[in-house]
Amino acid sequence: MKLYGVPGWGSAIVEAMLAMVGEPYDYIDVDGFDRPGAAQDRLAAINPLQQVPTLVLDDGEVLTETAAIALWLADRHAGLAPASGTAGHRHFLRLLIWIVANVYPTFTYGDYPARWAPSAADELVAATNAYRERLYRWLEAQVVGPYLLGEQPSALDCYAAVMIDWRPRRAWFAENTPRLFAAARLMRRDSRLATVMARNGLAID
């Protein structure tokens, strides 16, 4: 399969999942796709939303959305989610959808404020930043430790491992959501993810 991505962006979340389960893939760097140009044209041809990650399966089918990719991979491989039918699995589903339905949109709108509120861009950034912090404080209360769901890492930890470098950034996570931050750093240290962490510039410390 082919993964369209940008180092350090949401594609890194899917790269971490793929590395956890050992699925091989070709990586296509579309850095700069959020501006008009060749990279944008390339991505727009397969994903009308022009977002990464965008995965193209071996038969040409396009699969987008980190949560859809996580669930598809979890169906194919053990180790990305608790066993289906358990309370742990329901909690996993809740948090997975919660992240993409609540946290991710704060970036969709806050990263491109002029697109959505050209005359109130600063207000939109401030509001989405504040809301995101509120969301992360709630997520902190859900962390079991050492990983998000407990003793075993899951796809949720792949989100955390990448997202601690995004706003509100590492120092904020360290101070305000220490359990989430610790889980993310633990995931980064997973030897299966070493290549992905290096390629995406995600520090292991």
Ligand X SMILES: N[C@@H](CCC(=O)N[C@@H](CS)C(=O)NCC(=O)O)C(=O)O
Binding stretches for ligand X (CB under 6 A): 9-10, 34, 50-53, 65-67, 100, 104, 107-108, 112
Q: What is the closest distance, in whole angstroms, from the C-beta atom of residue 52 to ligand X in the complex? A: 5
Q: Among residues 47 and 177, whose Cβ is nearest to ligand X?
A: 47
Q: What is the closest distance, in whole angstroms, from the C-beta atom of residue 113 to ligand X in the complex? A: 12
Q: Are 184 and 7 in contact (CB under 8 A)?
A: no
How far does the chain reach from its first CA to its final CA, in angstroms? 31
Q: What is the closest distance, in whole angstroms, from the C-beta atom of residue 90 to ligand X in the complex? A: 20
All residues at 6 or more sequence positions from 108 whose CB lies less than 8 Å from its CB, including other chains: none
Q: Among residues 145 and 166, whose Cβ is nearest to ligand X?
A: 166
Q: Among residues 10 and 153, whose Cβ is nearest to ligand X?
A: 10
Q: What is the closest distance, in whole angstroms, from the C-beta atom of residue 96 to ligand X in the complex? A: 10
The total of other beta-carbon atoms located within 10 Å of residue 160's CB is: 28
Positions of E strands within the chain: 2-5, 26-29, 54-56, 62-64
